[in-house]
Amino acid sequence: MSQTTQNDQLSFDTVIIGGGAAGLCTAIRLAQKSQTHKKDIRICVLEKGAQVGAHIISGCILNPEGLDQLLPNWRQMDTPIKTKVVKDRFYWMTKKHAYRLPVPPPMRNQDGYIVSLSKVCVWLGQIAESLGVSIFPGYSAHKALFGKDGEVIGIETGEMGRLKNGDKGPQYQPGVPIYCKQLILAEGCKGSLTENLINHFELRKNCQIQNYAIGLKEVWTAKNKYYQEGLSIHSTGWPLDHKTYGGGFIYHYEGKIALGLVIGLDYQPPNIDPHGELQKLKTHPFISRQLDGEQCIAYGARALNEGGYQAIPQLVFPGGLIVGCAAGFLNVAQLKGTHNAMKSGIIAADAVFNHLQSPISSTRCTNYQHTIEQSSMYRELKKVRNIRPGFYRGRLAGFMNAAFETVTFGLSPWTLRLENDAKKLRPIADYPPRHYPKPDGKRYFSKTDSVRLTGTNHTEDQPCHLVIKDPKRVIPINYAIYGGPEQFYCPANVYEYIKTNQKVVLQINGQNCIHCKTCAIKDPGDNIEWLLPQGGEGPRYSET
Ligand SMILES: Cc1cc2nc3c(=O)[nH]c(=O)nc-3n(C[C@H](O)[C@H](O)[C@H](O)COP(=O)(O)OP(=O)(O)OC[C@H]3O[C@@H](n4cnc5c(N)ncnc54)[C@H](O)[C@@H]3O)c2cc1C
Ligand code: SF4
């Protein structure tokens, strides 16, 4: 980083935290504007993954609206966006059958492209760099720095080389302060620094609680006769019961199949294992035949936000603002957030550019909030605001409410309240054990097998980044009452209850963590703190 050091102090006009779709589109737009207007705006992007794209996982059907605004000639460029959706299908699944239904309007993707979002972010990163943006992969933003009036004036990166026992190791490097005029938070769903600043500035005072889901995905080779380039399938029903919100997706693209499952984190049975449910989905004859003779080449999981319109916090704070899924702009009815991540980045860049040129000295870029509230993106989210909470009462009630909200264009005069996901868990005693397919290492995988496909890695000799806030709650509450839900919902086998000498202890295999953030959401007592590990660690996704 030293080449940009000035007066022993690393500073930029804008520091963007997160090299996902939101952060990179913000950077590109800001760089484009500074070139067009011949202004020297110094922009930096910090990305905690070892490379841009390494922590990116998505479905992904890309609605290109945002990209059309940002790079109008992208179709003439050499991009990783190659497969247009040519056929949409929607199925109601029972254990043995798949019944084709009309595709609900939000699931129609006639303008969409099936992509690996990880690869798209690599490409966007290259464009940003070619426009002069400084991208620092392998660096995470750990904490905000504050000025004398309480405004954010920069961040400090995480320290490296601290040992498990808390001492500084031989490779120890302290965190680096980086100063900026505007900090842009683009950390994605449940961003750590974002949540800290949301709490610090009380940005959730006027909105509802956020809702979440966990999405898991496998990528398979696809050479058999069932492969149809450009086919997009969404499913509802089995293997999830009627009280559990979610569904499957299967996308055929570039000689591969992306197979995934999204499960609302408001589920009640504490022994639901989302990774196990994905394995179960593959036993269905309709899915199974698409995978015959094929090989699984990638796996990943990530939380996504589902609260939508009524869960959007105040977006601007002194010294910065929030974009993309860090702010919660995902359209849950469509299962799409990438277009809004891009659009919010574009709006943010325009607002920050004007703010930096403005003679009025203010640390708040208020124009961003205003423009978002006037935007088509905001109207889109408002229209579907009641769809997700309509499913709290089960699938049938949810679909009836969704149909009503769709035909009335979301004009109903009410806004349904969002409820706390973690508080929905019920005692394990209320549920029978759940059974999942036996791993065979070919079609069905153990979590350990799956994690191997993510390339995840964390230095073992460092303080664990998963901190149990009150260890006294673990056995009597998490284990005795809820049966240890973290051992089920964690998609990477990080939490294991080990029985030794008639004692049960919770073992945390932090090195397996794939940064999905589910444990920071679904713990019944909000007892798990997800801290940022050393930069450059975690998954190394490239196909997701
Ligand atoms: C299974 C699944 C399927 C999906 N399907 C679709 C789909 O089909 N279509 C669609 O449009 N959307 C889909 N989405 C949603 C879509 O992926 C998100 O809306 C989109 O990725 C949001 O982009 P973002 O840039 O806001 O956040 P992210 O993609 O999460 O990117 C955030 C980046 O910030 C980095 N970061 C976080 N914290 C820090 C820090 N402190 N310091 C440095 N770096 C940090 C992360 O490593 C990451 O690279 C899906 C999501 C999932 C999980
Ligand atoms: S430890 Fe938490 S963040 Fe890491 S993979 Fe498991 S649930 Fe996800």
- Using most ligand atoms within 8 A of CB, pick from 489, 490, 526, 529 the residue to mutate for ligand 2: 490
The minimum-distance atom of ligand 1 relative to the CA of 63 is: 11
Residue 413: which H helix or E strand, with range?
none
pLDDT above 90 covers a percentage of the chain that reads 94
The finding on whether 214 has its CB within 6 A of some atom of ligand 2 is no
Quote the pLDDT of residue 1: 37
Between the alpha carbon of residue 327 and those of residues 46, 198, 295, 341, the distances in Å are 18, 10, 36, 9
- Identify whether the C-beta of residue 186 lies closer than 8 Å to the C-beta of residue 193: no
pLDDT category at 50 given cuts 50, 70, 90 is very high
Supply the residue whose CA is at minimum distance from atom 18 of ligand 1.
Answer: 337
9-17 vs 43-47, strand pairing mode: parallel
Q: Which of 190, 193, 155, 158 is nearest to 174 (CA)?
A: 158
Q: What is the pLDDT of residues 483-529, one digit of tens each?
A: 999 999 999 999 999 998 889 999 999 999 999 999 999 999 999 99
Between the alpha carbon of residue 458 and those of residues 240, 407, 461, 537, the distances in Å are 33, 49, 9, 5
87-93 vs 231-237, strand pairing mode: parallel
Q: What is the pLDDT of residues 59-105, one digit of tens each?
A: 999 999 999 999 999 999 999 999 999 999 999 999 999 999 999 99
Render 13-60 in DSSP notation, one character per residue: EEEEE--SHHHHHHHHHHHHHHHHTT----EEEEESSSSTTTT-----
Please list the alpha-helical segments (H only) found in 191-337: 192-200, 274-281, 285-291
> Predicted ipTM?
0.99
Quote the pLDDT of residue 535: 87
| Ligand that comes closest to the CA of residue 302 | 1
Assign 478 to helix, strand or coil.
Answer: helix
Give the span between the Cα atoms of 272 and 276, in whole angstroms.
Answer: 8
Helix axes of 338-357 and 366-374: crossing angle, nearest 10 degrees: 140
Residue 6 has pLDDT above 90, yes or no: no
CATH 3.30.9.90 maps onto the chain at 83-114+212-305+423-530
Task: Enter the tokens of residue 268.
Answer: 């009640």
pLDDT above 70 covers a percentage of the chain that reads 99
Quote the pLDDT of residue 2: 34
Task: Enter the tokens of residue 244.
Answer: 């559990």
The finding on whether 304 has its CB within 6 A of some atom of ligand 2 is no
Residue 56 has pLDDT above 50, yes or no: yes
Catalytic site positions: 58, 302, 338, 490, 513, 516, 519
Mean pLDDT over 359-381 rounds to 94
Beta bridge partners of 98: 93
Residue 4 has pLDDT above 50, yes or no: no
Give the span between the Cα atoms of 187 and 322, in whole angstroms.
Answer: 9
Residue 234 has pLDDT above 60, yes or no: yes
| Ligand that comes closest to the CA of residue 537 | 1
Residue 452 has pLDDT above 60, yes or no: yes
Q: How far is the CA of 56 from the centre of ligand 1 (A)?
A: 6
CATH 3.50.50.60 maps onto the chain at 2-52+117-208+313-383
The minimum-distance atom of ligand 2 relative to the CA of 518 is: 7
pLDDT category at 359 given cuts 50, 70, 90 is confident
pLDDT category at 460 given cuts 50, 70, 90 is confident
Quote the pLDDT of residue 361: 81
CATH T-level assignment (fold) for domain 2-52+117-208+313-383:
FAD/NAD(P)-binding domain (3.50.50)
CATH T-level assignment (fold) for domain 83-114+212-305+423-530:
D-Amino Acid Oxidase; Chain A, domain 2 (3.30.9)
The minimum-distance atom of ligand 2 relative to the CA of 528 is: 2
The finding on whether 492 has its CB within 6 A of some atom of ligand 2 is yes
The finding on whether 513 has its CB within 6 A of some atom of ligand 2 is yes
- Identify whether the C-beta of residue 213 lies closer than 8 Å to the C-beta of residue 306: yes
Q: What is the DSSP letter of 272?
A: -
Specify whether the backbone of 8 is left (phi greater than 0), alpha (psi in -120 to 50) or beta.
left
Q: How far is the CA of 489 from the centre of ligand 1 (A)?
A: 19
Quote the pLDDT of residue 8: 60
pLDDT category at 458 given cuts 50, 70, 90 is confident
Supply the residue whose CA is at minimum distance from atom 3 of ligand 2.
Answer: 517
Task: Enter the tokens of residue 252.
Answer: 């055929």
CB contact set of 71 (below 8 Å; sequence gap of 6+): 28, 77, 127
Number of residues assigned to the chain: 544
